[in-house]
């Protein structure tokens, strides 16, 4: 079952079941109009349309551990070497944004880009997890956008301005069981209905178990923390009013728009 956190019409936060079939959505949509058809959420014997509720991010991460250059084709388009160990950087809880949100991008920047990514949501506090045990600490998968401010990223070492600004990590809408996500799951991103990214989870340089083992060698992951696993090729700039759809096979479709102040 794909779970969704939401605020019901009375204002109470619930966890329900996402009823739309992600495969069907993906087949019939260009990613720009998914959601207008209306996802549905079951909670007990109630079924809500997404118009009746606020879909919340699938978790409340204390930190988001992001992986850079984890697809060879993306490293090539950035004229960067493939790293010999996972390249890690952090976003904080301020970066989280929800499905269907309108994100105000940092002002005065020439190039802020989208990066469609598979998000791994951690289910329990863990440290020094082996690759063999890695999937036991995973609560589920979600869709993410690693929004990237290239103006500042290219001139700073630690990418705080470049990557960790407010709402730089839209996440959601669901938490999907990993066993329902194919190993070669398609990862696609559309801007205003135009397909910009079309990759596959099978092209990850470092696998999800390898990432969890490496990250937890150095730091403790907590329940609700997220790993953004890297983006395939096709990243590109966003402008005021753009509508973004990110679909991951077996997971669902995250939609949000951007505004430039």
253 binds Mg ion (CB under 5 A): no
CA–CA separation, 52 and 50 (whole Å): 5
- The residue among 35 and 172 lying less far from Mg ion, judged by its C-beta, is 172
Question: CB-hemisphere CA count at 13 Å for 161?
Answer: 13
231 binds Mg ion (CB under 5 A): yes
Exposed, middle or buried: residue 236 (CB in 10 Å: 0-12, 13-18, 19+)? middle
Q: Write out the DSSP string of 149-165.
A: EHHHHTT-SS-HHHH-S
From the list 55-63, 109-117, 209-217, 244-252, the region that binds Mg ion by CB under 5 A is 109-117
- CA-wise closest residue to 58 among 151, 167, 181, 140: 140
From the list 34-42, 75-83, 139-147, 208-216, the region that binds Mg ion by CB under 5 A is 139-147
CA–CA separation, 46 and 42 (whole Å): 6
From the list 91-99, 115-123, 178-186, 240-248, the region that binds Mg ion by CB under 5 A is 115-123
CB of 235 to Mg ion, least distance (A): 8
- CA-wise closest residue to 42 among 29, 52, 27, 31: 52
- The residue among 216 and 231 lying less far from Mg ion, judged by its C-beta, is 231
Which residue sits closest to Mg ion, CB atoms considered? 146
115 binds Mg ion (CB under 5 A): yes
Q: Provide the mask over 192-221, with x wherever binding to Mg ion is found by CB under 5 A and - wherever it is not.
A: ------------------------------
The contact set with Mg ion (CB under 5 A) reads 115, 146, 231
């Amino acid at each position: 079952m794909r779970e969704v956190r939401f605020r019901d019409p009375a204002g109470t936060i619930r966890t329900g079941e996402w009823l739309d079939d992600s495969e069907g959505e993906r087949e019939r949509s260009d990613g720009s109009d998914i959601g207008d058809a209306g996802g549905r959420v079951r909670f007990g014997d109630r079924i809500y349309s997404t118009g009746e509720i606020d879909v919340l991010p699938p978790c409340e991460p204390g930190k988001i551990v992001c992986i850079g250059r984890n697809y060879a084709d993306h490293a090539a388009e950035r004229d960067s070497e493939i790293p010999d160990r996972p390249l890690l950087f952090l976003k904080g809880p301020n970066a989280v944004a929800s499905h269907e949100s309108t994100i105000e991008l940092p002002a005065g920047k020439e190039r802020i880009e989208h990066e469609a990514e598979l998000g791994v949501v951690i289910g329990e506090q863990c440290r020094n997890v082996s690759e063999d045990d890695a999937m036991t600490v995973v609560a589920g998968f979600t869709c993410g956008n690693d929004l990237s401010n290239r103006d500042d990223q290219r001139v700073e070492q630690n990418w705080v301005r470049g990557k960790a600004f407010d709402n730089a990590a839209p996440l959601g809408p669901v938490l999907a069981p990993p066993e329902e996500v194919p190993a070669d799951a398609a990862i696609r991103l559309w801007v205003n209905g135009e397909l910009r990214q079309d990759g596959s989870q099978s092209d990850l340089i470092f696998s999800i178990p390898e990432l969890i083992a490496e990250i937890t060698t150095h730091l403790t992951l907590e329940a609700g923390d997220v790993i953004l696993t890297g983006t395939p090729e096709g990243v590109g700039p966003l402008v005021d009013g753009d509508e973004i759809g990110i679909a991951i096979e077996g997971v669902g479709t995250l939609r949000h728009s951007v505004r430039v102040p």
